[in-house]
Every structure is written in structure tokens, then in C-alpha cells.
Structure 1
Amino acid sequence: MPHHTEDIRLLEELDKKHFLHPTSSIQQQQDEGPAFIFKEGRGIYLEDVKGNIVIDGMSSLWNVNVGHGREELGEVAKAQMTKLAYTSSFATFSNEPAIRLSAKLAELAPGDLCATFFTSGGSEANDTAYKLARHYWILKGEPERKKIISRTKSYHGVSMGATSATGLKPFRDFTSSLAPDFFHVDHHDPVALRDLIEAEGPETIAAFITEPVQGAGGVHIAQANYFKEVKAICDMYGILFITDEVITGFGRTGKWFGIEHNGITPDMMCFAKGVTSGYAQLGGVMLSKELHDDFKKLSTGPLLHGYTYSGHAMACAVALKNIELIEKENLVENAKLKGGGLVEGLHWLQENKKMVSKVRGLGLMAAIELSDENLKKVQIPISSSIVNEAAKRGLICRSVTFDGQDTIVLAPPLIIKKEEIEKVVLLLHDAIDVVERKK
């Protein structure tokens, strides 16, 4: 049942007055209020307080992998919270869910990644990776190795280090002072990476960090041998290779982790989002056996890094159950199969809509790029107009306009069915139709 009109108006006014939204237009919030006030989710669908039902074509923030309203996860959370919601993991204190989850992650992760440092989310995971990389080189007697290299069009989060590593310039321009020793290199050019390393001096580079597929930057997929070439360059110069699997982990690309498409094992791997499907706040960094062994061998004092909620018992219990659901329901394979159907549908759009110039995707993360130069001359990006029209028709997707792009991205829950994929494509088709007629 929808809320009463008076209740909705009150919620909208309270939102305007008290809720400062992340990555949102403050002016738009004040002028128009919240776009949706969601009250319930079931499967791939969300319902707002007005009774509108929409397909969550972005898994909210690329993270609700097992879909909304999974009672099993609520039951596990309640059981763990009733027994032991939280206890510190500082000073070697531990709890069973954190122990079992770290062991399960070692089982699932590529190669010899074996030890996990837990955080509350992806930005913290990436900041942790930078700190661990720099501390590692201190322990190895090479403290001058402190520079971090990332790729253009990359997104690594909004904490200070993660913002500095992010290759999307508007995020860096948001603040007047960035963390030092972060560098960005062309996102698809291994030669550019080698040249930057040579220019800065290999002995000053701590690590290279990359998303296996660049998500928030527009779903950019590197050419076939890019990562093997980049890993070889890092190995040649003794530079740590870190993958940011915050978006691409836990089945999103049709494998458990995105880097597995390239047959590479990173030295460190960051994760968050899909580890709990958004039902609890959790992230982490995994270390290779070699790195873990070096930390154990070389460390002489406490690891002076940690978060209050590192190894949070309830969050770890939810993650274990979430992983169990992904395994039991074969959602990694479903992402591969349904992702193929989604890309096929987007190619059909490309054939029927002149403004769709490119289609790209891997698993259940996909994008269409728009090309109509006349439409790009308008004040509001065309992708934003299409996304707004799609929302009116019952589909949430996302516009990416950084670095001169005009792109629409999709990343629905991994439980999506064939007929729901078809519905997503048709809703997007109808939204494009409306924008074309306004042309």
C-alpha cells in the first residue's frame, strides 16, 4: 500500500532539510526533493512510498547481487546480532564468522590469495591497500617506494587516498588538496605505464592498481592481452599489482572475480559490495601468500592500521550466507549467460537506434555509448535524459558523462531472468524513443 500523501510530503521535506545525499545535486534535491523514497525490494524490483515499482537495473550501486528481500540474509543477521553482533578484532581478538569468512575467501579467490584484512567498504579497502603496499616496502627496506599508479577512467572510491587514485578528474577536482604520490596512466596502454615507471623511477613505485573492468567510469573492458602485459611490466620492475574488485567481485562478470578472465593472480585484491549483496557493510583486502609471509617474517610491532568494524561479526555472517546463496543458485554462471543476453539485446538497440554507437559488456555489467552530435549540443547530456525517461517507465539505469563520454550503464542483480532482461531492453528502447521524438 502506498503511503498517505501527507506522509510522503513530510518525508520529502525532511529529506530536503536533513539528508545530504552522496554524489547528488544539492540544488536538485532542494528544488525537487528525492527522486524515489524506496520502502521495499523484491528480487530485481524496488517499490517506493508512492507505489511505483521499478527494475533495479544497477543492483543499486552494483552490489545487490542476490537481489532484494532475501529473508535468509535477514535471518542470519538477526541470529548473529542476537548472539554476538560485534566485538573488536584489534589485539588479535577474533570471532567465528570473521575466521570462517576469511577461510572461505581464500578458497574462492584466484591463485594464492590467502589472508584478508577486513574493512567496512570499498573506499576503505582501497585506502588499506595503498597503506599496506607502502608499509610493505618500508619493511623490505625500500621506503622510497611510495608512489601509486592507477588508470584514467578508473574509480576507486571517495576517501582521501581512493579519491587521489581515481582517474576521473571531476572527483579529484571536488577537493582542493589531494594525497601526494598518486599518478594516472592511459587506461588501455601498457606502453604508457612502462614509460611512466621509467620516467618516475621504478625504485619509487610501490604499486599499480586497476579495476578488471572499469565500472563507474563507463564499463570499459581492456583488450585481450592488456592485463598480462601490465602484470609482466609490474613483475619486471618489482611493483605490486593490486586489483580493485569492489564492483567486479562475487560473480558480476560471470566469474567469481573479474581478473580471472585474464588468468592473473594479483599481489593484493580489494573487495566489497557483492560480498554481502549490500545487506551489511563489509569490504576487505586479500594478500598473496608471498606478501602475507613477508609481513609475518618482517614485522616487529603491531600493524598500526584498522577500523572499528574490521571483521564485524554480523556482517561476516551475512557475507557467508550471501556467498552460499551465490553458490547454491549458480549465480556466477547465470551472470555469464544472462549477461550475454543483455549485450545481445543492447546490440539490437544499436541496430535500431542511430544514437547508440557502441555496446560493451562482460557478465552483468554493460554499457551503451551515445553518438548523436546534435543531441550532445543540448545542456543536459542525452544519456541523463534517457535515464530520466527510463526511470519514469520503470527502469533504473545510470548515466556516465565523465571525460567527454555520453554513456548509459546497466548492472542488474545476478538473479535476473531471460524475460526480465528483455523487459530491461524494451524499457530502454522506449526511453530512447521519447528522447528522439523531442529532438
Structure 2
Amino acid sequence: MTTLNDTLEQSRAYDPQDLWRKDKDHFIHPFTDFSVFHDQGCDLITDSEGIYVTDSHGNRFIDGIAGLWCVNVGHGRAEIGAAMAEQATRMAYFSTFNNLSNAPAAELAAKLAELAPAHLNHVFYSCGGSAANDATVRLVHYYFNRLGKPTKKRILSRKNAYHGTTYLAASLTGIESNNWDFDTLDHLVTHLSEANCYRRPEGVSEAEYCDRLVEELEETIGRLGADNIAAFIAEPIMGAGGVLMAPKGYHARMQAVCRAHDILYIADEVVTGFGRLGHFFASDAVFDTQPDIINVAKGLSSGYAPLGATLLSDELYEVLSTPQGPGGVLSTGFTYSGHPVSCAAALKNIEIIEREAICANVREVGPYLESQLKTLAHHATIGDIRGSHFMLCIENVADKTTRELLPVEARVGDRVAFEAQQRGLIIRPVGHLNIVSPPLIWDRAVVDRVVAILDRAFTAATASLEADGYL
């Protein structure tokens, strides 16, 4: 008789070349670099365990990016798989529309309310970070409509912010290259300056830089009119835009200005939530803010199942939960809002984070990872090493003094990532940047191994840049 294990083993017996061709011929990947994809295709990851992933050829790598900022508790957690399987066989799906619900969605909503800042007691589910940000803006507009303030529509975001790739979320995103030849809803979004301490004006202190950024917000409100602005959305630390750390006090001061002008403050914690900075939520614990809304995804389920959520304040909920009139309903949502299997995965994920004190591990190991990465600063291309805890970035430059960048065609981030992968470590290249955002279960011994690999990778990448005439 064929057992489940036999079936699993057979399913893992991939033909690497056949799989590579199927992927190249049929799968349109997010953010595909078509200048190389048609020839190179993709490396296919087929297995994972703990901090490691394995490709279709059997090569094993340390995962330095947690899948994509998300596999916080590590790979291959049998407990999460079992929780999902149990829920799937008990009840895989049923609608949460029209006064119906399910147990995991209810339990998870209550748990999120327990973990979040005290005033955020209400949860609107979606299927990921982009959808969470998209849904949030729709709810914010509805909120102000219900208050009789229909002109409050514009959302303030920031240059180099990343908030997703659905139509509205892509418009919130301020990374210029993300929207090349794509349309955006410019009439709804205004982008303020990024908070980039590394590239602040010469001779300007961090405190003065913070003053300038807050003044820009005030000037923008004055120009657009507070009656036309609904909300300001910000990542506590900007992720895909370069792991940009704002100057000290920035978020609290920005929130104070928003409050003074009846502008909602939305914290996009899709990356920073669920332990990456050593706390379930970074907004209050790290940045001394009390957002009106916090959006989460990624680490919410550690990537084991697609899930996003918008956490709303009691004040907003009071308005949203008041019917417009007889028969009026909150007419927005998704087929998979509060999907029971995804919610079961998230509940087990949170249980593991709490039981294994993973946030405490990040608070202990994170500063060590930061300090050890900074030992790489002697390499010729490294201009800045920044971030916090398990959310870090290395910025490559042509000149450390002027901070001038290497030409795009040098593909410096790709070179470093390639050399690291050749040595058993996957990190993320984003243009001239290399991002390290690992599973939250790394210990000091793993950090030492990773930094040793990166040291060799930067040496090799520098040599190749010199050989090609870029340095």
C-alpha cells in the first residue's frame, strides 16, 4: 500500500532541467528581470528546513531573506503544517460574508487585538500586504464619507516607500522604478521625501534633518489643505526602498502633526511586525507611536499561508460599524477574508513565537548581527550598513566619500548576491543594495558563518568589478 510518505518522496523527485524549463516557459514571476531571465531562468527552491533552503539540484543554502521578509519562525515547522491540515480536513473554507464566521478567524482576531496597541481592537482580513493597504485606503475614505467629510481623499506616502503592487497600493509605493510604464492613481497620492539619514544633506545634523522632514509635512498640508487629506502611511523602517531608518523622533513628530490636522496615521508593519525588530508590533514599542491603523501580513503567518490584516482603532470602528441606513452594510471584503486555514497557520505561528521567546532572541542576537555586519565596512564598495535587528541593508557605492553610485550596468547588488549564493548564502539584491532579513531563529554562531561568507563574497565581487573596469 502506498503511504503518504511514499507519495511525498515521489513528489520530491524532480527532474531539475524539466522543472527549470516549465518555470521559464510558463511562470511570470514578480519583478522578473527579463534582460537575463530568457537565458538564465530561475534557481528553483524545492525543500526547506529551519534556516536552510535547498534547490532542485540538491544545493543547500542559509536563507538570509526569510523567504521574502516573512518566514519568521523558520522553515518546515511541522506544527504549522499539522494545524493547517487539521483545519483543512475539518473545514477548509466557508464564507465570512452575511453574518457567518469561523473559529480560527475569530480566535486570531482576538489574539491580534491582545497583542496590538491597546486601542486597536478590530481586524479586517485580506490575503496579503498589498491587499491590506488597498483595503485600508478604501475603509479610510468610507470613514470620512460617513463623517460628512467627503473631500478628505488624498493619501500622503513617501518616496521610496513600498506598500505593494495592486493598483492603489502601487500608487502608494514611492519606488520610481516599480511603476515604470505602469499607470498610477496620482490624483489620490502625494509623496513626501524619504527619511534617509545616510543621504541627508551635507552638514545637516540628524536632528536638523528631522526638523526639515516634519516641516515638509506641514508645508504639504498647508498647500493641499487638511480638508483634502485623509491619511499618512509609513513603514516604521522602509523595507524594499532600502531599509531606510528615519531620524530619531521622526515618527512620533509626524504623527503629532497628522493628529493636529485630523489626518489618520497608518503604520505599514507588513515587514516590521511579528518580531523582526524584537516586538510583535514596532510602532509603539520601538517608535513611540499610536497609529490609527496598523497593516500586517508576511510574519503574521510566517509565510505558511497567504494572509493580511488591517487593525483598526476603536474610534474608526465606531464609525464603520454604524449602518448607513436601513439595509446598509459594510460592502467591502474578499472571498478569502478570514480564511480558516490561513488563520489556523497564523495562530500556530504566534504560539511558536511566544513559546520560544523568538522576539527576545531577536532583541539579543539582532544587535550582534548589526555589529558583525559592520565589520565588513572595509570593503571598497560598502558605503553604508544600516537597519535594525533582523532588518538590515548594505549600500554599495563607487566612492565612499561622495557616496556616488556605481553604474546600473555594473549590477553590483547582483554580483554580491551571486558570490554569496556560490558560497551557500542567499541574500537579496535590490539594485545597488543587498538586504539581509533572515528567519528570526538565527543565533550568534549562524551570524558568524554568514558574515564570513559575506566577507568572501564582497572580496570576490570587488575583484570582478575591478576586472570589468567599474572600480
Q: Would the TM-score normalized by the shorter structure come out above 0.5?
A: yes
Counterpart check, 1:10 vs 2:22? no
Q: Give SS of 1:213's match.
A: coil
In percent, how many aligned pairs have the same letter?
39
Cα displacement (A) at 1:27: 4.0
Preserved CA contact (<8 Å) 1:375 1:382: no
Partner amino acid, structure 2, of 1:334: N
Q: Give SS of 2:321's match.
A: helix
Preserved CA contact (<8 Å) 2:24 2:41: yes
1:362-396: CA deviations, max 9, x gaps? Answer: 12001112222498147223122111111111111
**Equivalent position of 1:248 in the other structure:** 272
Partner amino acid, structure 2, of 1:279: Y
Counterpart check, 1:48 vs 2:55? yes
**Equivalent position of 2:291 in the other structure:** 266
Structure 2 CA distance for partners of 1:5 and 1:28, relative to 1, 3 Å: farther
Cα displacement (A) at 1:353: 1.7
Q: Give SS of 1:248's match.
A: coil
Single out whichever of 173-182 and 146-155 deviates more from structure 2: 173-182
Q: Give SS of 2:122's match.
A: strand
Preserved CA contact (<8 Å) 1:63 1:273: yes
Aligned residue runs from structure 1 range 399-418, under 5 A: 399-401=429-431, 406-418=432-444
Cα displacement (A) at 1:103: 0.2
Single out whichever of 176-185 and 51-60 deviates more from structure 2: 176-185
What is the CA–CA distance in structure 1 between the aligned matches of 2:397 and 2:25, rounded to whole Å? 39
**Equivalent position of 1:24 in the other structure:** 32
Structure 2 CA distance for partners of 1:159 and 1:148, relative to 1, 3 Å: same
**Equivalent position of 1:362 in the other structure:** 388
Preserved CA contact (<8 Å) 1:172 1:178: no
Counterpart check, 1:168 vs 2:181? no
* Structure 1 residues not aligned, in runs of 5+: none
What is the CA–CA distance in structure 2 between the aligned matches of 1:326 and 1:209, rounded to whole Å? 27
Aligned pair count reads 433
Partner amino acid, structure 1, of 2:161: S
**Runs of 4+ displaced beyond 4 Å:** 1-6
**Equivalent position of 2:201 in the other structure:** none
Structure 2 CA distance for partners of 1:378 and 1:287, relative to 1, 3 Å: closer
Counterpart check, 1:424 vs 2:454? no
Counterpart check, 1:190 vs 2:214? yes
Preserved CA contact (<8 Å) 2:323 2:329: no
Cα displacement (A) at 1:290: 1.0
Aligned residue runs from structure 1 range 306-345, under 5 A: 306-345=333-372
What is the CA–CA distance in structure 2 between the aligned matches of 1:293 and 1:5, rounded to whole Å? 54
TM-score of the superposed pair, with normalisation by structure 2: 0.89
Preserved CA contact (<8 Å) 1:252 1:365: yes
Partner amino acid, structure 2, of 1:223: P
Partner amino acid, structure 1, of 2:311: M
Partner amino acid, structure 2, of 1:280: A
What is the CA–CA distance in structure 2 between the aligned matches of 1:409 and 1:6, rounded to whole Å? 30
Cα displacement (A) at 1:329: 0.7
What is the CA–CA distance in structure 2 between the aligned matches of 1:320 and 1:277, rounded to whole Å? 11
TM-score of the superposed pair, with normalisation by structure 1: 0.95
What is the CA–CA distance in structure 2 between the aligned matches of 1:5 and 1:430, rounded to whole Å? 33
Preserved CA contact (<8 Å) 1:386 1:431: yes
Counterpart check, 1:72 vs 2:79? yes
**Equivalent position of 1:208 in the other structure:** 232
